[in-house]
Amino acid sequence: MHDEKELERIGTESQKILELARSLVKPGVSIAEVANKIDDEIRSKKLHTSFPINISINEQAAHYTPSFDDKAVFSPNDVVKIDIGLRSGSELTDCAITVDLSSKHSKLVDATNEACVAAIKKVKAGTKLCDIGAVVEEIAAKSGFKPVKNLGGHGLEEGELHAHYFIPNFDNGDTTELQDGDLVAIEVFLTDGEGYVDEGDTIQIFQKAAGAHARASDLRTVSTFIEEEYSSYPFALRWLVKKFGSEFKPRATLNELARNEALEQFPVLIERKKGMVAQSEHTVLVQKSGCKIVV
């Protein structure tokens, strides 16, 4: 059973933080500067991340978060996806927007937003997951775009941002039904590319298995910090570099955890044909006659 009052509080703060991020994204501004300001804002609200801020650009669909010494800046031609996951106690939220700095891809962004709104209108107890995907696919086709078929929405529960359901952006035939009281993220990705993403080479987000530790004492300090600070939720490498002063110990720790199969890695996801990608995401609470938008 979800704490609706707490969800409402986190949802309100999530929206404020998302809008702050939107206001910071401008040509020439450092991507790392935006990420660090959002990290600071989240801490100031006494909240935690359920997933590090994603600032994915153009053909990058998801999982780009800056490194500690990232020098990249926003370009006037960029289409920027800002994806923020927050948590407080056992409650989680996940939300995303697209900022088109180029003003050349408004049709893609508008179609993505339209599809997300239409998908949310379908949400209620008893709705089949494939029916939500069908609505997104229909609007994408009508607008001349494709849904990204290997990305989609998901359920949320304590300890797991991506739980229970995969909510497709197309009719995948999944007749699983939403249940009253489910907390889900409706997450729409549309593209002018092929409609699939592949893993890129850049990895800055990781998730440690609960209770797993490095053996060497100096590295165990790092794995203990991860356990205490982030629990089993994903974290950004730049946070560890900031804490330990260099990348050496954090990298060595992550390498050992990976060798022991105690580390999940989140590579940047890139549209297969380098197509432009837009994203829109809201967290909603499923009810018998519809849903309540949390953020």
> Rounded to two decimals, what is the model's pTM?
0.95
- The one catalytic residue in 187, 192, 256, 271 is 187
Long-range contacts for 12-18 (Cβ within 8 Å, ≥24 apart)? 12/295, 13/45, 13/47, 13/86, 14/84, 14/86, 14/93, 14/95, 14/283, 14/294, 14/295, 15/95, 15/295, 17/41, 17/42, 17/45, 17/84, 17/86, 18/82, 18/84, 18/95, 18/96, 18/97, 18/295
Q: Name the residue with tokens 């006494």.
A: 46
Q: How far apart are CA 241 and CA 220, in angstroms?
A: 15
Please tell me whether residues 231 and 167 are part of one structural domain. Answer: no
Catalytic residue, chosen from 91, 114, 137, 154, is: 154
The low-confidence residues of the chain, meaning pLDDT below 70, are 159
Q: Are 156 and 281 part of one and the same domain?
A: yes
Same domain (yes/no): 127, 14: yes
> In CATH, what number is assigned to the domain containing residue 225?
1.10.10.10
The residue from 39, 78, 91, 94 that is catalytic is 94
- In a shared domain, residues 164 and 252: no
* Same-domain status, 29 and 48: yes
23 shares its domain with 169: yes
Which of helix, strand or coil describes residue 87? Answer: strand
* Residue 248 and residue 118 share a domain: no
Q: Are 133 and 224 found together in one domain? A: no
How far apart are the C-alpha atoms of 14 and 49, rounded to whole Å? 10
Residues with Cβ within 8 Å of 266's Cβ and at least 6 positions away in sequence, in order, are: 63, 203, 205, 206, 207, 234
Q: How far is CA 287 from CA 123, 161, 276, in A?
A: 8, 20, 34
Q: What is residue 159's predicted lDDT score, i.e. its pLDDT? A: 67
Catalytic (active site) residue 187: yes
Q: Are residues 58 and 149 in the same domain?
A: yes
Provide the pairing of β-strand 153-157 with 183-191.
Answer: antiparallel
**Residue 99 and residue 211 share a domain:** no
100 catalytic residue (yes or no): no
- Cα dist from 291 to 88, 94, 122, 126, 185, whole Å: 21, 16, 9, 12, 11
Q: Number of structural domains, the chain?
A: 2
3 state DSSP class of 132: helix
pLDDT digits (tens, 9 = 90+) for 123-178: 999 999 999 999 999 999 999 999 999 999 999 987 677 778 999 999 999 999 99
Q: Residue 85 is encoded by which pair of tokens?
A: 């996951």
CA distance 38 to 66: 12
- 94 catalytic per annotation: yes
Strands (DSSP E) contained in 46-148 are 48-57, 60-62, 79-88, 91-100, 146-147
The CATH number of the domain where 54 resides is what? Answer: 3.90.230.10
Identify whether 2 is a catalytic site residue. no
Active-site choice (70, 78, 83, 271): 83
93 shares its domain with 30: yes
Whether residues 186 and 215 share a domain: the answer is no
Q: Domain limits at 257?
A: 204-268
Instruction: For residues 269 and 198, give the distance between their C-alpha atoms in angstroms, rounded to a whole number.
Output: 6
Its sign, for the CA torsion 62, 68, 70, 75, is: positive
How would DSSP label each residue in 52-64?
A: EEEEEETTEEE--
Active-site residue, from 105, 192, 281, 282: 281
